[in-house]
Amino acid sequence: MNWQWFHRLGSPRWFYEKTTVWLPWLMLSAWGLLLIGGIWGLGFAPEDVKQRNSFRILYIHAPVAYISMSCYYIMAISGAVGLIWKMKLPFMVMKACAPIGLGLTIVVLATGSIWGKPTWGTWWEWDARLTSYLILSFLYLGAIALQQAFQNRDTADKASAILALVGTVNIPIIYKSVDWWYTLHQPATLKIVGKSTIDPSMLYPLFVMIIGFYLFFTLVLILHTRTEILRRESRTQWVKELVLANNSGKGEGASS
C-alpha cells in the first residue's frame, strides 16, 4: 500500500502551505458560529425555569469543557504518532495542545465557578466531576512544565509524549476513583450538580456553539502549530524564502 500520503502529512512545510489556504475559511466559520451562537444564547434563547438567566453560561461553559478534554487526547495521540513514526509535525501539534488545553481548562473552571454562585450558592464544590476536571488541569500544567524544562527539543518532545500517554492511561482511572470517592462521601443533601432536561429551543444554540468551538479549536491549534513550524524550521530554505517574500512584500526593498 502506498503510504506516501501519510508521510507527506508529516511534512511541516506541506502542512504550513495547505493550511495557509484553509485559514481564512476556518477563521470566518469558527468565529462566525461563535458570534452567532453567543448572541443567540445571550439574547434569544429562553431563560431556564429554575436558573433564570445564569443558565446562559451553559453555552460557553459546556462546549469549552468538551474541547478541553478532546485537546488532551489530541495531544496524546500526536505524541504517540510522533514517537511511533518518528515524524516532526505531530510533535509540533502536541506541543501546541498543552497551553491551549490549559487556557481552556482554566476558563471552564472559572465559568463553572461563576455559574455555581448564583445557581447553587457556592463558588466551588468537591464533587466527582469538578474534582476530576481540576486534576485534568494539573495534568496540563505538568505537561507544560515538562516541555519547558528540557534544552534539547527532541528530548522535550519525546518526554512530553511519554508523559501525555501515561496521563491518558490514568484519566479514566482518576475519573473512576474520584467518582467512587465522591459517592462514598456524598453529603446527605441533594447532589449539587444535577442534570436537568433541556428544552429544544435551548439545545439549538448549544449545538451551534459546540460546532463553533470545535472549529475554533481546530483554528487555534493550526495557528499555534504554524508558528511552531516557522520557529523550528527557521533554517530551511522555504522558511527563509517566506521571510524574504513577507518582508519585501511590505515595500521595504530587497536590499539596503
Chain positions 62 to 121 lying near other proteins, rule: CB under 8 A, are 64, 100, 103-104, 106-107, 110-111, 114-115, 117-118
Which of 184, 188, 189, 237 lies at the binding interface for other proteins (CB under 8 A)?
184
Q: Is 122 in the site for other proteins (CB under 8 A)?
A: no
Cα(148)–Cα(125) distance, rounded to whole angstroms?
32
Cβ pair 72, 171 in contact under 8 A: yes
Q: Is 249 in the site for other proteins (CB under 8 A)?
A: no
Cβ pair 195, 127 in contact under 8 A: no
Per CB under 8 A, contacts with other proteins among 130-159 are 135, 138-139, 141-143, 145-146, 149-150, 152, 154-155, 158-159
Q: How many residues touch other proteins (CB under 8 A)?
A: 79
Q: Is 192 in the site for other proteins (CB under 8 A)?
A: no
Cα(56)–Cα(213) distance, rounded to whole angstroms?
16
Cα(37)–Cα(59) distance, rounded to whole angstroms?
8
Q: Is 202 in the site for other proteins (CB under 8 A)?
A: no
Neighbours of 56 (CB within 10 A): 21
Query: For other proteins, which is the closer residue by CB, 8 or 247?
Result: 247
Rounded to a whole number of angstroms, the minimum distance from the CB of residue 4 to other proteins is: 28
Whose cell is 472549529? That residue is 215
Cα(166)–Cα(163) distance, rounded to whole angstroms?
5
Rounded to a whole number of angstroms, the minimum distance from the CB of residue 26 to other proteins is: 11
Which of 44, 124, 207, 238 lies at the binding interface for other proteins (CB under 8 A)?
44
Burial class of residue 19 (count of CB atoms within 10 Å of its CB; 0-12, 13-18, 19+): middle
Which of 178, 206, 208, 215 lies at the binding interface for other proteins (CB under 8 A)?
178
